[in-house]
Structure 1
Amino acid sequence: MAYIAHILAPADWETFEQTEEYRPASLDEQGFVHCSKLGQIVVVADVAHAHRDEWVLLLLDESRLEAPVRYETNEDGGSSFPHVYGPLTLDAVVDSFDFERDQTGFRLPEGLLNYESVR
């Protein structure tokens, strides 16, 4: 099973759970939903999400996403990131975790390590 992750605000997660579909602004603005490989989560959060201390981290089963996933290299030509070219659907969400930042930055939630392929 291939897992990818998406970080979103707690209020957006509540709405997603009710509507069973999530369409962040990036889908309209850039045509895709930003996601991360599991080894990229903390770095992405520390860079892109440091303006807020509380987030929700979604663990997604890539094979259960209805929209195509493309791994694309960022502007600096370095790492490739998974981009989902359509809305996220609730049935692709394997688990959700509170994802909090402390004075040193973000850390992977302990519960995430329960997933064999994450280790």
Structure 2
Amino acid sequence: MTDERPVSTETLAYKILTGAQMAQLLENGSFAGAPVDLADGFVHLSAAGQVQGTLDKHFAGQEDLHIACVDLAAVANALKWEVSRGGALFPHLYAPLPLSAVTAHGPVWRDTSGCVILPGLD
């Protein structure tokens, strides 16, 4: 029997957090998840090309948002790429997000055209 789970070559993913959630991650050293994560049973992450769409769809109009850059190798044992919005594969973390896997983080910033600037890519 072969393993037919999709495999991605992405090495980083991103978690969008409210200010309070970011503070919790920094204070506790891990983040169990937002209400939607807890309801779904996994922490929702986005690949780099998915962050803009996730922000626009699920966080429209919200302020005090942050983005944490996650090293996928550090959470590989609990990570699955699964079909989600529009049939695209999204990274889902079936464990709390450990601060040790976060390589960079910062507030949501957009360039002059409105595109999100991801932390850690400067």
TM-score under structure 1 length normalisation: 0.81
Deviation at 1:112, TM superposition (A): 3.5
Q: CA RMSD in A?
A: 2.4
In structure 1, runs of 5+ residues without a counterpart are 115-119
CA distance in 2, matches of 1:101, 1:52: 14
Please tell me the residue identity of whatever aligns with 2:116: R
Deviation at 1:27, TM superposition (A): 3.9
Deviation at 1:54, TM superposition (A): 2.6
* Residue in structure 1 matched with residue 43 of structure 2 by the alignment: 33
TM-score under structure 2 length normalisation: 0.79
CA distance in 1, matches of 2:29, 2:37: 16
Identity fraction in percent: 25
* Residue in structure 1 matched with residue 55 of structure 2 by the alignment: 45
Deviation at 1:65, TM superposition (A): 1.9
Matched, 1:62 2:72: yes
In structure 2, runs of 5+ residues without a counterpart are 1-9
Equivalence map 1:1-119=2 (5 Å): 2-24=11-33, 25-65=35-75, 68-74=78-84, 76=86, 78-100=87-109, 107-109=116-118, 111-114=119-122
Aligned length: 112
